[in-house]
Amino acid sequence: MTDTRPQKLDQAGGPQPDTPGGIRSAARALARRWGTATADRRGLPDFLVVGTKRGGTTTLFRALQSHPGVAPLFPSRQHTKSPHYFDLNYDRGESWYRSFFPTARALGRAGHDRLTGEASPYYMFHPLAPGRIASDLPSVRLLVLLRDPVDRAASHHWDRVQHGVEHLPFELAVAMEPERLAGEREHMEADPGYQSDAYEHFSYLARGHYAEQVERLIALFGRDRLLVARSEDLYADPERTYDEVLGFLGLPSHCPGTFGRHHAHDGRPPVPDALRSDLATYFAPHNERLAELLGTDVWW
């Protein structure tokens, strides 16, 4: 049974060491110190799942983590998806980032070299993250999942509501988005240490401007190091999309057992028909531009 009693706090405001929360916190801190101390033995990621938010990135990443040719982040028992280095923690430095990855010995423990990677859907949208990645990881491969931007925006909003971050209804939130995000990207570009909660959490429409984000990735990394897939294809036929990803990464076929849908939210209210129609019209030119960029039919 989960202990729902309030945790005892120490004088600094954190859990005391003799509480479950304090023990977990101490274990995480110890693992990070050890990882940082051994950073010179640790590599950097071979692949990144960079977007989009509410597009199935966790589902894909967990499937990749189940592959025998992919090593988990360190320590494996924490099931870390991302240290959010290139978006939120870049000031911590490369040794801290390396502390999350397996040692060279661990990568070869299965008798062959394994790949390793991480996943943050904010990497693709963050104004500075793609440039940082291109500078620090010259050979990395990028995986991008894109979802119908109307459904993505509604799911993103409901996720923020469920986490207590958003208090506006969806229709008002998208109407207020330009005002909420005004000047935030420019502030982040001018001051790399500035983190914008509004830009991260309330970017319901802006994150659906996929063409400009993908175009930027292509300019930085080249088309051959970027795999772009539809989230709907992952949901409808996960085996096929997963095989495509494995081929892109040079990994042999593998069946993960089950894919599931991680972080799916039940009970999300439907988007009213009139609003859905307005948003579909809004996103139409962005979707058409993406199709031209990728050489595909219009996806949504």
pLDDT in tens, 8-52: 334 444 455 567 667 778 888 999 999 999 999 999 999 999 999
Q: How far is CA 45 from the centre of its chain?
A: 14
| Residue (of 251, 125, 253, 294) closest to 199 by Cα position | 125
Give me the count of residues in the chain.
300
Is 203 inside a domain boundary? yes
pLDDT band, very low/low/confident/very high, at 5 (cuts 50, 70, 90): very low
C-alpha separations of 278 from 202, 247, 288 in Å: 19, 38, 16
Is 196 inside a domain boundary? yes
Is 126 inside a domain boundary? yes
Query: How far is 36 from 40, CA to CA, in rounded Å?
Result: 8
Q: For residue 65, is pLDDT > 60?
A: yes
Question: Average pLDDT for residues 117-140, to the nearest whole number?
Answer: 98
Query: How far is 137 from 144, CA to CA, in rounded Å?
Result: 17
Question: Average pLDDT for residues 130-154, to the nearest whole number?
Answer: 98
Q: Would you state the pLDDT for residue 251?
A: 97
Q: Would you state the pLDDT for residue 261?
A: 60
Is 210 inside a domain boundary? yes
How many domains is the chain partitioned into structurally? 1
For Cα atoms 255, 260, 263, give the angle at the middle one, nearest 5 degrees: 140
Burial class of residue 298 in the structure, from the number of CB atoms within 10 Å of its CB (0-12 exposed, 13-18 middle, 19+ buried): exposed
Is 69 inside a domain boundary? yes
| Residue (of 125, 293, 138, 287) closest to 220 by Cα position | 138
Domain hosting 46: range is 32-294
Q: Would you state the pLDDT for residue 263?
A: 58
Query: Amino acid identity, residue 181?
Result: L
Query: How far is 133 from 269, CA to CA, in rounded Å?
Result: 37
SS3 content of the chain, % helix, strand, coil (to 5): 50, 10, 40
Query: In degrees rounded to 5, what are phi and psi of residue 144?
Result: -125, 125
Q: For residue 7, is pLDDT > 60?
A: no
Is 244 inside a domain boundary? yes
Is 274 inside a domain boundary? yes
Question: Average pLDDT for residues 186-213, to the nearest whole number?
Answer: 98
**Average pLDDT value over all residues in the chain:** 91
| First CA to last CA distance, the chain | 44
Q: Would you state the pLDDT for residue 260?
A: 65
- CB burial of 86-99 (b: ≥16 within 10 Å; e: otherwise) equals bbbebeeeeebbbb
pLDDT band, very low/low/confident/very high, at 4 (cuts 50, 70, 90): very low
* Contacting residues for 241 by C-beta, under 8 A, at least 6 apart: 60, 229, 233, 234
C-alpha separations of 264 from 125, 235, 260 in Å: 21, 11, 9
Q: What is the DSSP letter of 45?
A: -
Q: For residue 165, is pLDDT > 90?
A: yes
Residue 15 DSSP SS3? strand
Beta partners for residue 71, in sequence order: 116
Is 162 inside a domain boundary? yes
* Contacting residues for 212 by C-beta, under 8 A, at least 6 apart: 286
Task: Give the CATH number for residue 75.
Answer: 3.40.50.300
- Given a contact cutoff of 8 angstroms between Cβ atoms, the answer to whether 120 and 78 are in contact is no
